[in-house]
Amino acid sequence: KVSVNIPPHKSIGDYLTFGNPNVPGQKLKVKIPKKANMENRTFVVSVPGPKVTAPDLRENNFAKEFKEALYIFAGVFDDWCVAEGEYNQSLSTIKRKPFKANVEKLKKFDGLVNEFPKNLATPVDISYLRKIVRQERSNKSRRDKRKDGGGSGNSAVAVVGDSMAEQQQESEIHIPQKGTEFMSIDFCRQDFE
């Protein structure tokens, strides 16, 4: 809010032009309100603040090779934690170190995150590196499913017991996937007898 002085030749209802103190060079036009203090020849008006545009923060975009290397590093580190935990359990209680594999797995990026510059527009932190590994794991899983036959991978082998003959027989069950294209299954009369 800004207090505006009313010139001697202006009265209530007249328009007045004044400079915005928040934005140099900007002129504002306002009508002198009925509530203006005509004894002191001033009134208070709200003025817009300067337009502050937030910087266009974009996520850091790492190369595909880096994402794959980070994914491999995370997997190898997790495997090392499991192996170290099993080795630690195999030691006598006197030689055992306090080592919890699940806790150590969470620390995999603690040292790595310090290798990135600190003055990036979007800083690289541990949660961001975990996000990259999750995305890469999901992408790899999808690629593997597509590579294995394009299906959703929902076919399962179930063992169905025949109570009369007390025999077990294996049957392949195909679970339909979501979508519009489905694999075709051939049926014969013997399948339903």
pLDDT tens by residue, 77-106: 888 888 888 888 888 888 878 878 888 888
Main-chain dihedrals φ then ψ at residue 106, nearest 5 degrees: -70, -20
| Biggest alpha carbon–alpha carbon distance for the chain | 112
Lowest mean pLDDT among 25-34, 86-95, 112-121, 155-164: 155-164
User: Residue 12's closest CA among 43, 34, 42?
Assistant: 34
Main-chain dihedrals φ then ψ at residue 42, nearest 5 degrees: -140, 160
User: How high does pLDDT run on average in the chain?
Assistant: 78
- SS3 at position 27: strand
pLDDT score for 160 = 44
Check whether 125 has a pLDDT greater than 70: yes
Burial class (CB in 10 A: 0-12, 13-18, 19+), 32: buried
- Banded model confidence at residue 136, pLDDT cuts 50, 70, 90: very high
Instruction: Report pTM.
Output: 0.46
> From residue 71, how far is each of 75, 78, 173 by CA, in Å?
6, 11, 34
In angstroms, the CA 104 to CA 88 distance is 13
Higher pLDDT, 121 or 55: 121
pLDDT tens by residue, 158-184: 444 444 445 566 766 666 666 677 667
pLDDT score for 56 = 60
Main-chain dihedrals φ then ψ at residue 128, nearest 5 degrees: -65, -40
pLDDT tens by residue, 42-65: 888 888 777 776 666 567 778 888
pLDDT score for 161 = 43
Neighbours of 77 (CB within 10 A): 16
User: Residue 130's closest CA among 78, 71, 82?
Assistant: 71
Region 6-21 average pLDDT: 86
